[in-house]
Structure 1
Amino acid sequence: MKKGILVALTILLMVSCKESDKKSTPNDLPVTKNEAFDTLLENYYQDGLKINPLNATFQGDNRYNDTLPNFLDDAYEKQLRQYYSEYGTKLKNFEDETLSESQKLTKAILKWECNINLEGLGFTDYTPLDQMWTMNLMIGQMAGGTGAQPFKTVEDYDNWLSRLEDYGKWLASAKERMIRGIAVEDVLPKSLIKKVIPQLASVVEPKLQDNLFYSPIKKIPENFSNEDKTRLTQSYGKMITETIVPAYSELHDFMKSDYMAAGRESSGIQGIPNGDAYYAHQIKVYTTTNMTADEIHKIGLDEVARIASEMEKVKQQVGFEGDLKAFFDHVRNKKELMPFTEPQQVIDNFNAIHAKMKPQVDKLFDKQPKTAFEVRRTEAFREASASAEYNPGSLDGTRPGIFYVPIPNVDKYNVYSDEDLFLHEAIPGHHFQISLTQENQDLPKFRKTLWYSAYGEGWALYTESLGKELGLYDDPYQYFGMLGAEMHRAVRLVVDTGLHSKGWSREKAIQYSLDNEAESEASITSEIERYMANPGQALSYKIGQLKILELRAKAEKELGNAFDIREFHNQVLETGCVPLALLEDKINAWITNTQTQK
């Protein structure tokens, strides 16, 4: 099993859906919901939380906050295989004729889930640490005391201690797994190892009070008794000095020496045994299609050419006389686009973008979430290698959705794509999509927490195209920012498939990106290394966006004056995270029903 579970947690995004529960039979009799099927779904969800308690924590369910399975243990993988196999078998007991329309869709989704996860379990994860996606980074985020793991009660503090004890076992297993990886020549590229080493070193902090894992003690609530404060302070100190720091130190030394010596010179997943089969699986996971790497590479090349022609128009609009590559450098280095001196100014700018677009949102969306929303700076320990990201609020709405913005060097922070970035990560992108799902009481619980990257990231990229309709992109540089972001996703199709199926080097992928987009070399390097760490994930954005755009164009053409953009958005968002083929089926049915009602 590769990184599927942990990656899903790292980018844990949740989505929405609501369908009719009735269907007309040939006798016009309604098919009501099958209660036995709903019981199966509830059991699937509850058993899933027991197997992966981190999912429960991220959803605001605190029942399992004191445990952390060893995802690298063979016994755990056996348990996971049994879980998906048994529920896949149980699904066969329910004929479609006995299910409502909503339940039929849920059955198709659950069948996909069981099959794709069982397929993933056929691949062993020999690289449990990387610079972007892995458990150590997730736990570090929680350790800061402001993430999904709560630190409000004495029990919360004790739960984290218990979870850290389990985490120590995972850290030991990670080293053992990487040693096995060396033996079978399944290791990280050297360039990624170089990025992991300082991340590990940052936790090996000799001064206890400055250690990341000591953060909750600095925020210990005043209402705790003095006895509890003393006990917890001592316990946390002991956990850090006797478990966490030694484990990180051992991993750091190992990766810096033996593991670095064994590191791959190749950049793509082709460089490991069975790499081609694994990449085909990753394409299926992240695009929810059966597309091949060659097909996706061709789409990427075509999209890069199309978007470049649009960029030329903006270049001419602002009166720049050099070629497009020179214009990229102009945008990257234009001092007027780097106006900030304090990180808070970056945050304030995003809040101003939100205020600017608010009056137009109602014209495109009649269903909007109740969950609160915040913009925050990315935590210092992961800021240097992090991308902007959205973390969802809790299912009960008590924790807001958070848009995290890395600001490693505020003097170099370029605003040219901020409007586009806000649309994608926040509103109406991930925050609308995820929060509406979490607030939807008509969904089975497991569907509220599903994440299919082609749908979720496809939706977020689609929303970037709505900027002008939302009163944004009146500045040509901000519109160029949208084109730049779309180009970035098109480039991803080319470089991800290039790296993992065509033998491209890291350096060739970096150069292709520099030649075709306006991101800085440092940013592009970080992105390319991200794709190296998780093959296929970068494909999901553009493949999903293109499908949603295709479905909107089809609906506009076939419905004519009956087309309602708000209802189209309802149809897409109501479905929640589903494989793209199921989304297409739903939109086609909506078009047909709307035509019938005309």
Structure 2
Amino acid sequence: MKKIVLLLAFLTLISCGSDEKKEIPKSEFSFAGVLEAYHDQSLALNPINATAAGDTRYNDQFPNFLSDEYQDKLKAHYHKFRDTLQNFDDTNLTESEQMSKDILYWECDMNLRGLSFQNSRLLPIDQMWSINLVVGQFASGTSAQPFNTEEDYENWLKRLEGFNTWLQTAKTNMQEGIEEGFVLPKSLIKKVIPQFEVLATTPLNTHLFYAPINNFPADFTSEAKDKLTKAYTTFLTETLVPSFNEMYQFLKTDYLNAGRESSGIADTPYGDAYYEYSIKKYTTTDMTADEIHELGLQEVARILSEMEKVKQQVGFKGDIKSFFNDVRKNKNLMPYSEPQQIIDNFNAIHDKMQPQINQLFDVKPKTPFEVRRTEAFREASASAEYNPGSLDGTRPGIFYVPIPDAASYNVFSDEALFLHEAIPGHHYQISLTQENEALPDFRKTLWYSAYGEGWALYTESLGKELGLYTDPYQYFGMLSAEMHRAIRLVVDTGLHAKGWTREQAIQYSLDNEAESEASIIAEIERYMAMPGQALSYKIGQLKIRELRTKAEKELGENFDIKQFHNQVLETGCVPLQLLEDKINAWIEMKKK
């Protein structure tokens, strides 16, 4: 249903690469030195990632991630570090170091596998995941890119020059993609076109990329303002906006005409192999599409039976599908008229659960936290999401809520949504990782969907323990959120491995959950844009729940829920098998 920050989604597609394949300096021959070298080179060579982490050294840079040269650098980078890991014997490493070695090997190996496909190069733009949307967030002045000094403003203008080169390369690659059979489905192209139309046609003084000029810091001199206004005006009107217009014209003509009628990735070259890779990447398991599809069907049936109980509890007399429609249209669940009322409600949920949080967690993040409305430029097609704070904690973690129409906003799943996106979901998981001084730096910004989204979905089930879900509709909202993730197992594999159409997937969702039709359409198109990612939530949640159940059973009275949560969270993001190994070792240690 909801997604983590756009930037993290982008970084799962494009990672860092080295300028050339060079030997790691002798000073870095220690294992800790190798990890630090990997991290440092990653920040230097992926400046977008560095900025997101709060490292400002590369704020003026935007490499052309789509160029052949850059793709070659990526391969050299991952080969170099994967080969270097062979120099270290596990018997000489601590338990934590062994996990870091396994994680870094996974990173290098999976990224090299990904680079064997042409998807990220020839399909660089979609309606919700691609780097142009991240840049839009940066441009707004409310995200990770700072606009506090004259140097900050100059850095952004230099970065935009690199982004403009990327944008022109994207168009060239998409033209090549048409020839090679790599093109988006028509339904997705139709969602991208309006995004570029706005960027191509909005008057300069209200343009998203002019926002920094409209929001100068109070201490800027008149001379500085005049100089920067002239520089931004010239660049936007003569360079960047024309590039936006060029992309807009291309999208609505040649690209739309070439758009696929099919919905799944299997209809592109090597699509079946790419989906296999995507399943492994996003679930960090060896499960097959058929296994996941069957698991999804089982989970849908199980959750439907729980939903029937809620339907009976509230006294609804129709069938479950009628109950879904009633929840979708129930005006009592749409009590607000102003966006701020919705933000206030999420803050009230936070206040309500605060007294119980200490019963489940004894380690909490120091990073501040805020709830904000999603920016207007992307609100219409956005899902609720969490943007991590900076590594040093000076920028807060932000839970973004899209509110295109406050009067039609349905609150029935808000408690589960807050637990997932905010506390103790993504804010705890990401902030505690970033604040953990025992972890090497490269692990503080890693993202494995199966772990990260699995944890967030698991936390939705903690609502009753946290004093929430006292309203049956909010509990139904939790079941609906879990159902939504179970449906993903069915429809994602249906779309990409079983030949389902967009319309089949939409109808299956409408038949089995209470989300609005508009929301379901946006979700199905999301799965079409990034095959496999939507599988990660339920797979990860089921594994964490399985490990908790095992620990409760084997430890009995010695089971401590706070210690279990510490064990899960202290590792940071890891592939699920490594998490399972860690929890199993902890259980055995506790038994002794």
TM-score for both structures, normalised by structure 2: 0.95
Q: 3-state DSSP class of the match of 1:441?
A: coil
* Partner deviation per Cα, 1:180-223 (whole Å, 9 max, x = no partner): 00001110000000000000011123421110000011111121
1:15 aligned residue: none
| Distance in 2 between residues matched to 1:489 and 1:7, nearest whole Å | 22
* Partner deviation per Cα, 1:556-592 (whole Å, 9 max, x = no partner): 0000000000000000001110000000000000000
Map residues 31-50 of structure 1 onto 2, 5 A cutoff: 36-50=30-44
1:25 aligned residue: none
* Partner deviation per Cα, 1:496-525 (whole Å, 9 max, x = no partner): 000000000000000000000000000000
> Is contact 2:6-2:133 (8 Å) kept?
no
Letter in 2 for 1:115: D
Given the alignment of the two structures, is residue 579 of structure 1 paired with residue 575 of structure 2, yes or no? Answer: yes
| Distance in 2 between residues matched to 1:261 and 1:437, nearest whole Å | 46
> Is contact 2:280-2:286 (8 Å) kept?
yes
Q: CA RMSD in A?
A: 1.3
1:91 aligned residue: 85
| Distance in 1 between residues matched to 2:6 and 2:161, nearest whole Å | 19
> Is contact 2:7-2:134 (8 Å) kept?
no
Q: Which of 205, 208, 216 is the equivalent residue of 1:209? A: 205
1:518 aligned residue: 514
Given the alignment of the two structures, is residue 285 of structure 1 paired with residue 284 of structure 2, yes or no? Answer: no
Pairwise CA distance, 1:97: 1.4
* Partner deviation per Cα, 1:82-106 (whole Å, 9 max, x = no partner): 0000000111111111111110110
| Distance in 2 between residues matched to 1:10 and 1:468, nearest whole Å | 34
Q: 1:7 to 1:149 in 2, by over 3 A?
A: closer
> Is contact 2:11-2:49 (8 Å) kept?
no
> Is contact 2:78-2:111 (8 Å) kept?
yes
Map residues 467-478 of structure 1 onto 2, 5 A cutoff: 467-478=463-474
Q: 3-state DSSP class of the match of 1:524?
A: helix
> Is contact 2:388-2:427 (8 Å) kept?
yes
Structure 1, unaligned runs of 5 or more: 13-33
Structure 2, unaligned runs of 5 or more: 13-27
Letter in 1 for 2:335: P
> Is contact 2:197-2:245 (8 Å) kept?
yes
Q: Which of 386, 407, 426 is the equivalent residue of 1:430? A: 426
Report % sequence identity.
67
| Distance in 2 between residues matched to 1:239 and 1:187, nearest whole Å | 30
Letter in 1 for 2:502: R
| Distance in 2 between residues matched to 1:394 and 1:10, nearest whole Å | 17
| Distance in 2 between residues matched to 1:378 and 1:74, nearest whole Å | 35
> Is contact 1:11-1:391 (8 Å) kept?
no
| Distance in 2 between residues matched to 1:200 and 1:246, nearest whole Å | 11
* Partner deviation per Cα, 1:108-150 (whole Å, 9 max, x = no partner): 1101000000000001131111001001111011100111000
1:192 aligned residue: 188
Q: Which of 488, 491, 494 is the equivalent residue of 1:492? A: 488
Letter in 2 for 1:471: G
> Is contact 1:9-1:55 (8 Å) kept?
no
Q: 1:206 to 1:370 in 2, by over 3 A?
A: closer
Q: 3-state DSSP class of the match of 1:375?
A: strand
1:264 aligned residue: 260
Q: Which of 314, 317, 321 is the equivalent residue of 1:321? A: 317
| Distance in 1 between residues matched to 2:268 and 2:556, nearest whole Å | 52
1:418 aligned residue: 414
Given the alignment of the two structures, is residue 70 of structure 1 paired with residue 64 of structure 2, yes or no? Answer: yes
2:339 aligned residue: 343
Letter in 2 for 1:294: D
Letter in 1 for 2:8: A
> Is contact 1:347-1:377 (8 Å) kept?
yes
| Distance in 1 between residues matched to 2:72 and 2:464, nearest whole Å | 51
Moved more, 35-44 or 365-374: 35-44
1:155 aligned residue: 151
Q: 3-state DSSP class of the match of 1:123?
A: coil
Q: 1:204 to 1:458 in 2, by over 3 A?
A: same
| Distance in 2 between residues matched to 1:211 and 1:199, nearest whole Å | 13
Letter in 1 for 2:550: K
Pairwise CA distance, 1:224: 1.4
Given the alignment of the two structures, is residue 53 of structure 1 paired with residue 50 of structure 2, yes or no? Answer: no
2:21 aligned residue: none
> Is contact 2:284-2:575 (8 Å) kept?
yes
> Is contact 1:204-1:211 (8 Å) kept?
no
What is the total number of aligned residue pairs between the two structures?
572
Letter in 1 for 2:370: E
Given the alignment of the two structures, is residue 130 of structure 1 paired with residue 126 of structure 2, yes or no? Answer: yes
Pairwise CA distance, 1:244: 1.4
TM-score for both structures, normalised by structure 1: 0.94
| Distance in 1 between residues matched to 2:149 and 2:447, nearest whole Å | 31
| Distance in 1 between residues matched to 2:136 and 2:273, nearest whole Å | 32
| Distance in 2 between residues matched to 1:375 and 1:462, nearest whole Å | 21
Pairwise CA distance, 1:10: 4.3
| Distance in 2 between residues matched to 1:399 and 1:594, nearest whole Å | 38
